[in-house]
Each structure stands twice: as C-alpha cells, then as structure tokens.
Amino acid sequence: MSVLRAEDLGFGYPGFPVGRAVNLVLRAGEILCLLGPNGCGKTTLFKTLLGLIPRQAGRVLLDDCDILSLQRRHVARQMAYVPQAHTTVFPYAVGDMVLMGRTAHRDTFSRPRREDRERAAAALSQMGIGDLSGRDYTRISGGQRQLVLIARALAQDARLIVMDEPTASLDFGNQILVLNEVRKLAAAGLGVVLSTHNPDHAFAYATRVHLLGDGVTQAAGRPVDVLTPEILSRVYGAPIAVERLPSGYHVCVPVDLASAS
C-alpha cells in the first residue's frame, strides 16, 4: 500500500520561495484534486513532491521513507509523473515515448523487452490512441501528446500517479476519457493526485480537494466542504456560485450569469 505524505512542505527555487506549510496525504484508491489560481505553485509543488527539485522546508515521505533517500528507480516504480504536455527536441516515435515509461522496471544496461512493448501498446490503447504508435511525438497535436504522456505513466505501472493539468489541452470528449480512466485507476487501487483549473472536475471525480492560493493551503477536504462559493470566490478573486444539477452534480458558474437566469 503506497502512501505519499508531505509534512509542512516549503517549495520554490533558491531565493524564490513559492509556497510553504503544505500538508497533504495521497493514499491508494484516492483521487486528490489540487486546485488553485495561475502561478500559485501547483507545478512546483508537484515537482517537489516527486523529489525532482530540492524542497525548501519540511519533508516528503513515500511509504514513511524520505523520498530523497530512496533510489530513483525505486521511486519511479511507486510513483509516475505526467508533466504538462510538452514537445521534445528529437522526433521520437509515440511508441518509443511510451516505452520509456518501462525503464524503471529494467536493469541499467537492458533494453525494453517484448513484454514491455506489449505493456506500452496496451497503455496506448487504453488511452484510445493505439493507432498513433508509429507517429512522431513532435508531429501530433498537443492534446494527443497529453494522452501519450498519460499512457507513458500507465506503462510505468506505478501505485501513485502525479498528473500536472492532465486535461488542460484536451477536447471535451478526451477530458471525459482521461478523467474516467483516472477514476478506473483509483477503483483499481491506485492513488492519483492531479491539478486542474476546472473545479467542476473536482466535484465530479475527486475524493478529496486541496485548494492552494498565495503559496499556502486555503482549504482541504471533501469537495462539497471545500468548494463553497465563499472560498472559491475568495481564492480565484471572482464572484463564483455553485449550483446543484438535478442529477446531483455540482457546477461552478460566474455569479452574474447565475443571477441573470
């Protein structure tokens, strides 16, 4: 059972603190949704949680071990990272990109084996992009690249997945595809922490929400407790209303629109 725990975490860059005093826990089977305005440090927090950049204060524990004391190969088997969609310098085939997710499961000097290729192909199919395998990663759309990076994290077979805005450049259908996959992963016992700019996603999919603003935790807990009109309006600096649909789902709407109808 993998557990990721941040204790009193301070993050940022040398001489440039971004956030402080963040406490959070990600357990298997959970979807933790990180919300917060632009520039509040979501990506920096994720990189610090993964041990990719040095932390400024506090601790990050993976299964009660300090993440900086663990071998990266061990960490990569426990925890996968989906960065924001980017492009690469060299035109790797999509299949090779996904195959790179298997590296932590092989020795330093080995190449991927047939079962790794099969796992990578399965991950691509799971994201509905099996036909892209032979295409160049640099020559597909931003949304497709995002799906490839998620497929790579799936191929990594980790127990926890950190996703940085996995739905940012996806069309509406693919947003649903990705979030449904996330839900299936959580149901299968994986822990997923993801950041998003859409509080509706947090309502619909998250087991817990962590709201970040001005570099500190503004609120954390169940979506219905955290995502109140008062807190959302304060953190995002815009009047926001939360409405409950007949189906039971919650949606956030700007107040002027809500009052106009």
Partner 1 sequence: MNPPGSPERQRARTAAGPIIGALAAGLLLLALFAITVGPYPVSVDQVLAALLDYAGGGAGLTDAQVETVLFSVRIPRVLAALLVGAALAAAGTVYQGLFRNPLVSPDILGVSTGAGLGAALGILLSMPVVVTQGFAFTGGLGTVALVYAVATAVRGHDPMLVLVLAGVVLGALAGACISLVKILADPYDQLPAITFWLLGSLAGTQPDDVWSALPFVVVGLVPLVLLRWRMNLMTLGDEEATALGIDPRRLRVLLVAAATLMTASVVAVAGVVGWVGLVMPHIARLVVGPNFDRLLPVAMILGAGYLLAVDTIARTMAETETPLGILTAFVGAPVFLWLLATGRRSW
Rounded distance between C-alpha atoms, residue 137 and residue 139, angstroms: 5
Contact call for residues 33 and 208 (beta carbons, < 8 A): yes
- Residues 150/151/156/159 CA torsion (nearest 10 deg): 60
Choices 3-11, 43-51, 184-192, 248-256 (CB under 8 A): range interacting with partner 1:
43-51
Rule CB under 8 A: say whether 143 interacts with partner 1: no
Per-residue string for binding with partner 1, 91-120, x by CB under 8 A?
Answer: xxx-xx---xx-xx-x-xxxxx--------
CB 62 within 8 A of CB 237: no
**Least Cβ distance, residue 244 to partner 1 (angstroms):** 39
Cα–chain center distance at 187: 16
Q: How far is the CB of 77 from partner 1 (least distance, A)?
A: 7
Nearer to partner 1, 42 or 47 (CB): 47
To partner 1, the closest distance from the beta carbon of 144 in angstroms equals 11
Quick count: other Cβ atoms within 10 Å of Cβ 224? 12
Residues found in the chain: 261
Per rule CB under 8 A, is residue 51 in the interface with partner 1? yes
Minimum distance of partner 1 from residue 104's CB (angstroms): 3
- In whole angstroms, what is the distance from residue 4 CA to residue 226 CA? 21
Place of tokens 């950041």: 195
Binding stretches for partner 1 (CB under 8 A):
14, 47, 50-53, 72-73, 75-77, 80-81, 83, 88-93, 95-96, 100-101, 103-104, 106, 108-112, 133-136, 138-139, 156
